[in-house]
Amino acid sequence: MSVRKEYLGSVRNVVAKLGTQLLSDDSGRLDAAFVATVAAQIAELRSGGIRVTIVSSGAIGCGLSVLGLPQRPTDLAKLQAIAAVGQRRLMDVWADAFEPHRLPVAQLLVTRQDIDDRTRFLNLRNTILAVHEMNSVPIVNENDSVSTAELVKISFGDNDILAALLAHALRADLLVLLTVVDGLLDEADKPVRLVKHVHEGRGLVREKISTLGKGGMDSKLQAAQMVNDAGEVAIVADGRMERILPRLLAGEELGTLFVPEASKKRSSRSRWIGSVRPAGTVFVDDGARRALAEHNKSLLPAGIVKVEGDFARGDVVAVADSDGSIIARGLSNYSASQMEIIRGKKSKQIRELLADAAYDEAIHRDNLVLERNS
């Protein structure tokens, strides 16, 4: 069995992301004819029992076109207004594309807070699953019309990171990032077909971002790393290739396949913990680092040397080593103020200080997610 068929033969749940540049024609306008070909591919996959959730960029690009503006402004309020105008046009095009296949579309606009909040994260997953059950196609985009820093600084990375986080929420078997090149290219500009360690591909990334989109190959590698860490696979491929999605699922050697280093898949809870922006950071000594990374232990207060951030009990915090490298994330049993009091102390001392509020573990192993490269 080929590597492709080994990893893709049983795929039934796909998240497919399409960027602004891919969705645009030579004049920078939304290419409705191309969108129609994508809809036909997804309808074909659905008929074969494969669900596809679409992450579609393009709202701001559509808004620029509708409003007749020559370039993307930098003013936040104007960007949000352009996104609001463009989102309706974007969904109209997708709805028209799926209409011949008798598939309704559902619009879901997401912000980073929808990922960080556990309840909203679960609601997002349940809504998308319900959309599929109703024989409709979910189309997700970042909510640019209400986001703030997301439009000025890259929050989701032109939806690449959003697509990876969505794959976590849905426990998708495959993340497909469709772009305008045939995957990751080597020094001779030839496609790299298989990547077993994402960090090895970072040296091949060109520092090039289109004028339409916010992301680039670097954000795609970040997204691939995220799904690989969860035990799933990712593909970066040329979305303009004929019938690219069915061909990829059939195992054709197209694009770049990123495979996980570990065979064990993370639970839904662990995927969420690994997705959330940490509310703070605790720094640990080398003994604690080894206990976590090598012996699968809980994090004890005795191993904590420094606390940063203002977090509450139950928040997700990052765990960093003495060099500042993130080695894990987990749900804290203590607030930041309590953690500052008990760091470096033994269990007996902690019970004397906090009485009934004392826990032996700062972060229990069941609520801890290690970085794969730690």
Whether residues 261 and 332 share a domain: the answer is no
Residues 6+ apart with CB under 8 A from 248: 8, 176, 235, 237, 254, 255
Distance CA 374, CA 372 (A): 6
Residue span of the structural domain in which 325 resides? 278-370
Name the domain count of the chain: 2
Q: Are the C-beta atoms of 275 and 162 separated by less than 8 Å?
A: no
Tokens coding 236 = 């970066």
Whether residues 95 and 197 share a domain: the answer is yes
What separation, in Å, do the N-terminal and C-terminal C-alpha atoms of the chain show?
32
What is the reported pLDDT for 295? 92
* Domain CATH number, residue 73: 3.40.1160.10
> Which domain-ending residue is among 269, 293, 308?
269
* Domain CATH number, residue 339: 2.30.130.10
Distance CA 230, CA 198 (A): 13
Whether residues 132 and 249 share a domain: the answer is yes
Whether residues 195 and 305 share a domain: the answer is no
Distance CA 350, CA 364 (A): 16
Whole-Å CA distances, 128 to 88, 164, 167: 20, 15, 11
Whether residues 173 and 143 share a domain: the answer is yes
The 10s digit of each residue's pLDDT in 256-289 is 999 998 767 898 889 999 888 999 999 999 999 9
What is the reported pLDDT for 373? 60
> Which domain-ending residue is among 269, 293, 309?
269
Whether residues 234 and 192 share a domain: the answer is yes
> Which domain-ending residue is among 269, 295, 323?
269
What is the reported pLDDT for 268? 87
Q: Are the C-beta atoms of 131 and 138 separated by less than 8 Å?
A: yes
Distance CA 320, CA 284 (A): 6
- In the sheet where 304-309 sits, what is the strand order? 304-309, 280-284, 316-320, 326-331, 368-370
Whether residues 285 and 233 share a domain: the answer is no
Find how far residue 162's CA is from the centre of its chain.
4
Distance CA 87, CA 63 (A): 7
Strands, DSSP E only, in 239-279? 256-258
Whole-Å CA distances, 307 to 253, 296, 336, 338, 371: 48, 22, 7, 10, 19
What pTM does this model have?
A: 0.87
Distance CA 114, CA 240 (A): 31
The phi, psi pair for 137, rounded to 5°, reads -110, 115
CA angle 214/53/97 to nearest 5° reads 85
What is the reported pLDDT for 147? 58
Distance CA 319, CA 305 (A): 11
Distance CA 175, CA 233 (A): 7
List the chain pLDDT tens, one digit each, 374 residues.
Answer: 688 989 999 999 999 999 988 998 887 788 999 999 999 999 999 999 999 999 998 888 888 888 988 887 888 888 888 888 999 999 999 999 999 999 999 999 998 888 888 999 999 999 999 999 999 999 999 875 665 554 444 455 568 999 999 999 999 999 999 999 999 988 888 899 999 888 776 666 765 544 444 457 888 999 999 999 999 999 999 999 999 999 999 999 999 999 998 767 898 889 999 888 999 999 999 999 999 999 999 999 999 999 999 999 999 999 999 999 999 999 999 999 999 999 999 988 998 888 877 889 999 999 999 986 64
Element (H, E) at 249: helix 244-249
- Helical spans, DSSP H, in 68-139: 76-98, 112-116, 118-133
Distance CA 18, CA 163 (A): 10
Looking only at the bridges linking them, the beta strands covering 194-195 and 51-56 are unpaired
Looking only at the bridges linking them, the beta strands covering 194-195 and 256-258 are parallel
Strands, DSSP E only, in 205-274? 233-238, 256-258
Whether residues 225 and 307 share a domain: the answer is no
